[in-house]
Amino acid sequence: MLAMKPNPSVPTIEARLQKRQILMTTDASMIAAVEKLLPADWQLTIVTDLEQIGDWNDVLLYRFLLMDLNEVDAFDPIDVIRQIRMQFQINIPVFCFGGDADVQDEMRLARADRFFSREEMLQMLPTFYQQYEW
């Protein structure tokens, strides 16, 4: 009988059970605030390009994504949500903060999930950690 090698592109149960979140921002104070709220058993990945994470199946391993809509120089939020929803075709929760009403409306149409001010996002994070604890 032939032994089968594990396929590195197939997520393992162990990898799926890890508690991970993505934060897309370059705002050092927001990064510090999120890190301060991060439970010990959660991992935070800070990126400005989803390709830094890997392929679609790597992004799928994360419980949710926090996206700074004020980051028009570091990345285009509309491009990111389109990549997640249309190219990758995954339904990872995308929680946005910042941005003006026009950007938020575009993100809604592209199927981002919820929108908060920076302060509201920080208030909601403990709830998200609890909801996505599974």
Per-residue pLDDT of the chain (134 residues; tens, 9 = 90+): 444 444 455 667 787 788 999 999 999 999 999 999 999 999 999 999 999 999 999 999 999 999 999 988 999 999 999 999 999 999 999 999 999 999 999 999 999 999 999 999 999 999 999 999 88
- Residue 8 is predicted with a pLDDT of 52
- Residue 4 is predicted with a pLDDT of 45
Residue 8 lies in a domain: no
Q: Which residues contact 23 (CB under 8 A, 6 or more apart)?
A: 30, 31, 34, 44, 45, 46, 47, 65, 66
Residue 65 lies in a domain: yes
Nearest Cα residue to 116 out of 95, 93, 97: 97
Residue 67 lies in a domain: yes
| The residue type at 18 | Q
Distance, CA of 45 to CA of 59 (rounded, Å): 11
Q: In what order do the strands lie in the sheet with 94-97?
A: 42-47, 19-24, 64-68, 94-97, 114-116
What is the CATH classification number for the domain harbouring 29? 3.40.50.2300
Residue 52 lies in a domain: yes
| Helix, coil or strand: residue 45 | strand
Per the structure, the complete domain to which residue 125 belongs is given by: 13-131
Distance, CA of 11 to CA of 101 (rounded, Å): 37
- Residue 103 is predicted with a pLDDT of 94
Structural domain tally of the chain? 1
Residue 1 lies in a domain: no
Residue 5 lies in a domain: no
Residue 2 lies in a domain: no
